[in-house]
Amino acid sequence: MQSATNKSKGTILISESIRKYGIFFAKFLIVANLKKNLETMIFNSLKNSLRLVTFCLLLSGLFWPLCSHALDPEEIVVIANGQERNGVALAKYYMEQRKIPAANLLVIQTAVSEGIERYFYDDEIAEPVREFLEDKQGVSCLLLFYGIPLRINGRVPPSGDLEQKQSHASQRRSDPMASVDSELSVVKIENPPVADWIPNPWFLKFQEQKVKYEKGQVLMVARLDGPDITTVKRIIDDSLAIEKEGLTGTAYFDARWPKPEDDTNLAGYGLYDNAIHLAAEVTEKVFPVVLNEVGTLFQQGEAPDAALYCGWYSLAKYQDAFDWQRGAVAYHIASAECTTLKKEGSQVWCKRLLEDGVAATIGPVGEPYVQAFPFPQIFFGLLLDGDFTLVEAYSLSLPFVSWKMVLVGDPLYQPFRQRGVLP
């Protein structure tokens, strides 16, 4: 995995207050959608951490009941491939379970393969979706089903371990490869750039910056997919069941280094390693946590009752250390972990996590650069809050769209809905 730290658009230096207390600012600034001048006033006037925490807690209690709005089923368009009949049938099953209107189903016709050339993507996927959305109001999320291609083919990046890739930090070039999911997030934008990433206007940090596109132009996207149709149905059923029962177990976080004493000016690998520490700090307030902060990963048998997980870095080599709880949510920060969901014998993390029983995971279809991964302290914090759906937590923690990342899971999944565990 590479860290494009020398590219100005790739460097993300998140302030201490945002990194540590993004959950509450997400509630206040994102959902309420306050204007820029009020955001500036808040950030300029609240520099002391204790005052900041107090203020955020007050905002959480006073404003959230008025502005809470989790994703509604009516806001989702479900997309299935007519060439994969099992996928169409499963899409209809999901829509019945989640009470998504039947009119929100779009069946396209494209090849049943994980990779697709861009010209086929444009004609067989993007154009039908764009035309379908023209007649739809209030759509904020697309859900792709088993049978929809996973990636748009493009240049294959250099391979190598973490240390070798460090030398490529300043050599990022335009790359036409993208996930179908991430490219569809900008399907409403006329003639978006084909290569390179686009700053995600939903991302928490970019709420305080001017970015090229607005939130109304960018869709949230998830997919229900996996090695086989049985796995996909299991994901749906597990998500529905755990929303009633509540997710229980232990959260495991796998950093590479101890937490730095000064974390105010981190970037690249250091920023994301520290983000894993921060995710552990947020989670341990309400959930049992095991934090590993040495170079070796969790080993077999060291992670029983696993409910949540984030760690790094084992490229395309799943570590079978976990006994997954039903409804578990997990992702591994490495460059190749969603290059396939179906290839027999593949050990990429997304595929293996789904095979082993998790309900939701995240990964890239190609080299994303470390800055493109969702920030774990924001993602898990919002999920633990109980008011945000899976796809909302993902979208608010994801820096870039029209790029490489994929969310596999039920977009409406709320594993802590019955007991929002953060204030």
- Phi, psi values for residue 24, rounded to 5°: -75, -35
pLDDT at residue 422, rounded to an integer: 58
Peptide linkage before 313 cis (omega within 30 of 0): yes
pLDDT at residue 106, rounded to an integer: 98
Q: Quote the strand ranges of 26-175, DSSP E.
A: 76-81, 105-108, 115-116, 141-145, 151-152
Q: Could you read off the pLDDT tens digit of each residue along the chain, which spans 423 residues?
A: 544 433 333 333 333 333 333 444 444 343 333 223 323 322 332 223 222 332 343 334 333 332 345 899 999 999 999 999 999 999 999 999 999 999 999 999 999 999 999 989 999 999 999 999 998 999 999 999 999 999 998 644 444 444 443 333 333 346 778 999 999 999 999 887 776 799 999 998 887 778 888 888 999 999 999 999 999 999 999 999 999 999 999 999 999 999 998 888 888 899 999 999 999 999 998 899 999 999 899 999 999 999 999 999 999 999 999 999 999 999 999 999 999 999 999 999 999 999 999 999 999 999 999 999 999 999 999 999 999 999 999 999 999 999 999 999 999 999 998 665 555
- Which residues are bridge partners to 126 per DSSP? none
Q: In this structure, is the dihedral angle defined by the CA atoms of residues 254, 333, 210 and 263, taken in order, positive or negative?
A: positive
pLDDT at residue 58, rounded to an integer: 31
Q: State both tokens at 287.
A: 């959930």
pLDDT at residue 41, rounded to an integer: 27
pLDDT at residue 214, rounded to an integer: 87
pLDDT at residue 209, rounded to an integer: 78
Are 184 and 402 in contact by the 8 Å Cβ rule? The answer is no
pLDDT at residue 195, rounded to an integer: 65
